[in-house]
Every structure is written in structure tokens, then in C-alpha cells.
Structure 1
Amino acid sequence: MLYPELFRSLESVRWSMDKDIPWDQFDASKLSEEQAQTIKMNAITEWSALPATEMFLRDNKHDSDFSAFMSIWFFEEQKHSLVLMEYLRRFRPDLVPTEEELHAVRFEFDPAPPLETLMLHFCGEIRLNHWYRCASEWHTEPVIKHIYKIISQDEARHGGAYLRYMKKALQDVGDSARAAFSKIGVLMASARRTQKPLHPTNLHVNKDLYPKDTIQSRLPDPDWLERWLDGQIDFNADWEKKVIERILHNMGLLFERTFATVQDLNRYRKEVISNLTAESAEPNAA
């Protein structure tokens, strides 16, 4: 069971909103209107940990260990939303999200295979870690620069925790887990080939609500994410390369292989599928 160990590990590095955020260093002259608006959008986006947690608990009723870990993940992700809102409350109270704006991103996600969802969110944590690091560099106001840096570190730790559960899944179900993880890994490491940013908050998750079935589509400004990445923080090809390298590196650790490119990972995926196909055909052959 991983939950007790992960609880102790994450508890030991947990930051305090009162003691670890340098609120007294705020410099109003270094916060632009454009920057402040993006903080509001990220605060609402982080609130979507609420429906994501409801999804995880629903789809992982068979796994009490992982479900218990959700108590940590949910707490820390909601804390990200809270610290961004606290920043706005102190320095731009006119931009604090309303309860209605927050509630708009709480909706039911369609059931999905839990292993694929786990891998999707693992990649999402890697991507968000890099988005927030990039955002920290873009911002000029020192307090929000620090906030983005500190929550980016949380996202990296969350990715590490998800990786532990992925390793556990390999032990429990073998090639079925390898097929699920490699499939999503290929998708998420191929983001440069897509028009929209590949992140769980930007994927369609409820066919009955389409097209308003992504977190981003339910924000006050549904188009802000692409503008934030491309026109504001400038999440360019060099940053995207870092994301892909981290995904491939972690897939190498998980599968005990070396993946220099997405194509390498895709070849591995096909190899695993071939093994599964052969295994399923064995009883019939007998």
C-alpha cells in the first residue's frame, strides 16, 4: 500500500500559505492587467480538481489505496486554486472568481478506463509543472512569481506519486497496464502535432454536454489557454521539448527501456499489443 508512505513524504514538504508566501513583497507596479486576468483563469482551472477527484473515486472503487491518495491530491490541488484566489483577494479583489464561476467547472465526467486516466493525469502533471515554471518566468510581480514556482513543484511531486501507482499497476496487471500507459504516452508526447494544448482540462469528457464538456470551455474566457500559452507566457518549442523529454524519460523508467523519440515509444506500444494478442489467442490455439 502506497498511501501511508506518500502521505508522510508529501506532508514533510507541504508549504504554508501564511508562512511560505512572501505576501509583504508585493509590488503593484509589476502586475499588469493582462497578467492579473490570467491568474483568475488559472484559479478557476485549478478548481476543476473537484470533478476530477469525483471521477477518480468513482472509477477506482476497486482500489482503496489509490482512492485514499486522492485525499492528498485533492487537498493540494484545491490549495493551488485557493492561493491564487488569495492573491487576487489581497491585490485584485475585483478579479476574485465568483462561486458561480467556480461551480461552472464542476460537472460529471463520463466513465473512462482507470489506467488510461491515470496515465493521462500523470502526463498532465508533467505538462502543468512546465507551464507554471514558464509562467513564473513570464510574470514580473515577485509574489505571483513565487506562487507559480511553488505550485509547479507540487505538480512535479504529484507526477511522481502517480508514477508509483503506475509501477504498482505493472506488477498487478502486467501488459494490460503497459498497453494503456504507452498508448496515452504516445498521445500526450505528440502534442506538437495537435492544434490544442493536450492537458486533461482541455479534453472532452462528457459526450452529452459537447461541446461544453471541457474544463476550459466552461471558463469565463474559453479561449484563454491557447492565448496564455502562445501569446503571453510563450510556451514555445523549447518548453514543449522539455515536456516530451520528461514523458519519455519516465516511460523509460517505468518500462525499463530507453525511448529517445515518440516513435520509439510507439514501437514499444505495438510490441506490447502484439504480446497481448498472442496471449489471448493461446487458449483458442490449444
Structure 2
Amino acid sequence: MLYPELFKQLESVRWNMDKDIPWDKFDAAKLTDEQAQTVKMNAITEWSALPATEMFLRDNRGDSDFSAFMSVWFFEEQKHSLVLMEYLRRFRPELLPTEAELHEVRFEFDPAPPLETLMLHFCGEIRLNHWYRRAAEWHSEPVIKAIYETLARDEARHGGAYLRYMKRAMQKFGDEAQAAFAKVGVLMASARRTAQALHPTNLHVNASLFPRDTIQSRLPDPAWLEEWLDKQIQFDAVWENKVVERILHNMSLLMERSFSSVQELNRYRKEITQRLQAAAAAGGAGANPLPA
């Protein structure tokens, strides 16, 4: 089991909200109304770890190890929402999210293949790590800078934990896991070709609620994410390339094969898919081909 070891690792570096956040360094002159509004939106977005955890537990009912790890992930992600709300409570109480605003992002996600969902959230942690690092640079107020730097480190650690479970899945499921990871990796490393930010909170997850079936679509300001990325923290091509490079680097380590571009990863995805299809056609045991 991975859970006991991951629990110890994450417990050893867990930060304390009272002692490790420099609340006494707050400088009101360095926080604009515009910046404070983005803190509110991120606080609500982080609250969506609640429905995501419910999804993980439902779709991984047969995996008690991973489900137990969700206790750690869920705690730390909800803590992210809480520290952002504590910032607002102390310094901009009029912007503190209401319980109704928080509850609005709690809705049921449609069932999805667990391996693809695992890879999706692994990439989401990488992306969020980079978003928060950029947000820390954009802010000039010392306390919120420190908070975003702290959250960025957490997201990186969460990505590392997901990677451990991905390695385990490859040992258990072989080509099926590789195909799922490569498929989602191609999608999540292709953000430059899409009109929307590729992150789990910005993807449609409940067909019956469409178009209000993304986390972002249920925020008080559904358009805030694109504004935050494009015009405020200016998450430009240089930063997007850093995300793509990290995804490709980790895919190279995971698959033990070098991928220097999304195109190379996509070619590998096609190879694995064809291999699965050939095995299925030949009556190969355990083959479960994914769509090409």
C-alpha cells in the first residue's frame, strides 16, 4: 500500500495556518480590489475538492489504498480554500464567500474511467502549481504572496503522490494504463490549441447540467478564470510551455521513453492503442481498448 508512506511524507511537511502564514506582514496598501476578488474566486474553486473527492471515492470503490489517500488530499485541498477565506475574513471580510456560493460548486460528476481521471488530476496539479507560482509573482501584498507560494508547493507534492499511484497502475494494468495516461496527457499538454484553460475545474463533468456543469461555470463570476490567466497573472506562452514540459518530462519517466513534444506522446498513444486493439482482436486476456 502507498497510503501509509504518503501520509507520513505529507504529514512531515504540513504547514500550520496560524504559525506558518505571516499574517502580521499584511500591507493593505499593496492589495487592490481587483486582486482581492481573485482571492475569493480561488477560494470557491478550491472548495470543489469536495465533489472531486466524492467522485474519486465512488469511482475507486475497489481501491481502498487510493481511497484512503483521498483523506489526505481532501484535507489539504479544503485547507487551501480555508486559508484563502481566512485571508479575506481578516482583511476583506465583505468578499468572504457565502455558504451558498461554496455549495454551488458541489454537484455530482458523471462516472468516468478511473485511470483517465487519475491522469487528468495529475496534470491538473502540475498546472495549478504553475498558476499559483505565477499568482504569487503577480501579487505584491506579502501575506497573499506567501499563501500562494505555500499552496503551489502543496500542489506539487500532490502531483508526486498521484504519480506514485500511476506507476502502481501501470504495474497492475499494463498497456491499458499507458493508453489512458497517454491519451489524457496529449489532451492536457495541448492547451495552446484550445480556447479554454485545461484544468479539471474547467471541464464539463455532468451532461445533465450542461452548460453549467463545470466548476468555473458555477462561480459568482464564471468568466473570471480567463481574465485571471490572460490579463491579470498573465499566464503566457512561456508559462504554458513550462506546464507542457513538466507533463512530458513525467510521461517520459513513467513510460521509460523520451517525449520531447506532444506529437511524440501522441504517436506513442496510437502505438499503445493499436497494440490493445490487436490484442483484443486476437482474444488477448484483459484487453480493454480505448478509442483512438
Shared fold per TM-score greater than 0.5: yes
Residues 38-70 of structure 1: per-residue CA shift (max 9 Å, x gap):
000000000000000000000000100000000
- Per the normalisation by structure 1, the TM-score is 0.99
SS in 1 for 2:283: helix
CA displacement 1:144-181 (0-9 Å, x = unmatched) = 00000000000000000000000000000100000000
Q: Distance in 1 between matches of 2:239 and 2:195?
A: 16
Aligned to 1:118: 118
Q: What does residue range 105-254 of structure 1 map to in structure 2 within 5 Å?
A: 105-254=105-254
SS in 1 for 2:106: coil
Aligned-partner SS, 2:282: helix
Aligned length: 284
State the Cα distance separating 1:238 from its structure 2 match. 0.2
Correspondence for 1:32: 32
TM-aligned CA deviation for residue 278 of structure 1 = 1.6
| SS of residue paired to 2:97 | coil
Distance 1:138 1:272 in 2: 41
Q: Which string of whole-angstrom CA distances, capped at 9 and with x for unpartnered residues, describes residues 198-248 of structure 1?
A: 000000000000000000000000000000000100000000000000000
1:15 paired residue number:
15
Tell me the equivalent position of 1:265.
265
State the AA in 1 paired with 2:112.
Answer: A
2:116, 2:50 → 1: CA distance?
19
| Cα distance between partner residues in 1 of 2:166 and 2:145 | 32
Pairwise CA distance, 1:281: 1.9
Give the superposed CA RMSD: 0.7
Identical positions, percent: 78
Letter in 2 for 1:110: D
**Partner amino acid for 2:239?**
W
CA distance in 2, matches of 1:283, 1:29: 69
- Name the SS for the 1:283 alignment partner: coil
Q: Deviations over 1:95-153 (max 9, x none)?
A: 00000000000000000000000000000000000000000000010000000000000
Q: CA deviation at 1:283?
A: 3.0
- Which residue type is aligned with residue 168 of structure 2? K
